Amino acid sequence: MSITSAIVLYAVLWFLTFLMVIPVRLQTQGDVGEIVPGTHAGAPAHHNLKKKALITTGIAAAIWGILVWIILSGAIEVRDFDWMNRLPPVSE
């Protein structure tokens, strides 16, 4: 795995994790009861994005570490997903 692949893998994991963490404990304006005129009741009143970004960074780093270990150790290879036997034989 090259450094570029590792960075791209981390970025994808970070954004996927962030999109899952954003709605956790979200308080909408409708929940709080203070709807600002011109906004939707489902708009966030308190979003805590900085805290959620830090949580996302930790979770994504843990998942990234596990995936990098799996890839670099060879526990799972591309050949494991060759269910139709289209890859040429391994020359050892």
Count of domains for the chain = 1
| 42 found inside a domain | yes
| 88 found inside a domain | no
| 62 found inside a domain | yes
Each residue of 24-33: pLDDT tens digit?
A: 988 888 888 8
| 87 found inside a domain | no
Domain residue limits at 56: 3-81
Q: What is the pLDDT of residue 6?
A: 95
- What is the pLDDT averaged over residues 53-75? 95
Rounded Cα–Cα distance for residues 2 and 72 (Å): 10
Three-state DSSP class for residue 52 = helix
Each residue of 7-58: pLDDT tens digit?
A: 999 999 999 999 999 999 888 888 888 888 988 888 888 888 999 999 999 9
- What is the pLDDT averaged over residues 63-90? 91
Report yes or no: 52 and 22 within 8 Å, Cβ to Cβ: yes
Q: What is the pLDDT of residue 47?
A: 83
Tokens of 89: 């034989």
Rounded Cα–Cα distance for residues 72 and 39 (Å): 49
Residue type, 63: I
Tokens of 36: 């600002």
The pTM of this model reads 0.78
* CA atoms within 13 Å, Cβ hemisphere of 36: 8
Q: What is the pLDDT of residue 14?
A: 98
